[in-house]
Amino acid sequence: MEKLNKMNLDELNNKISNGQYVLFFSADWCPDCSFIKPALPEIEKEYSEYNFLAVDRDENIDLTAELDVFGIPSFIAFKDGKEIGRLVNKDRKTKEQVEEFLNNLNK
């Protein structure tokens, strides 16, 4: 998974303007983020139509706030720069919950 460098919203919009992306918001100190991380390589493989980007919440605190992400771990999906879905809250997420979220994006 590509780690997103520190950037502002305009820079992010430019980066994700073409294609399908899933942003994964987390932080090193977050136990619920550590819980889902081992499942992410398999999820990325199963959903290869998406480019997954890891967003360090602490490094990108302004961007995280601009995107209304107030809990981690969280996921936001984009297609050609437009948000198509979000799984944003402070709850622990299972592999099954993330897969269900991704499966429902194109419905």
Query: Token match 């999906």: residue?
Result: 77
Question: What per-residue confidence (pLDDT) applies to 27?
Answer: 95
Positions marked catalytic: 30, 33
pTM: 0.93
**pLDDT tens over the chain, length 107 residues:** 999 999 999 999 999 999 999 999 999 999 999 999 999 999 999 999 999 999 999 999 999 999 999 899 999 999 999 999 999 887 889 999 999 999 999 76
Question: What per-residue confidence (pLDDT) applies to 30?
Answer: 94
Residue 22 CB contacts under 8 Å (≥ 6 apart), including other chains: 47, 50, 51, 52, 53, 75, 76, 77, 78, 102
- CA–CA distance, 85 with 104 (Å, rounded to integer): 9
CATH number of 93's domain: 3.40.30.10
* Boundaries of domain holding 10: 2-103
Question: What per-residue confidence (pLDDT) applies to 80?
Answer: 95
Query: What's the domain count of the chain?
Result: 1
Q: Which one-letter DSSP state was computed for residue 52?
A: E
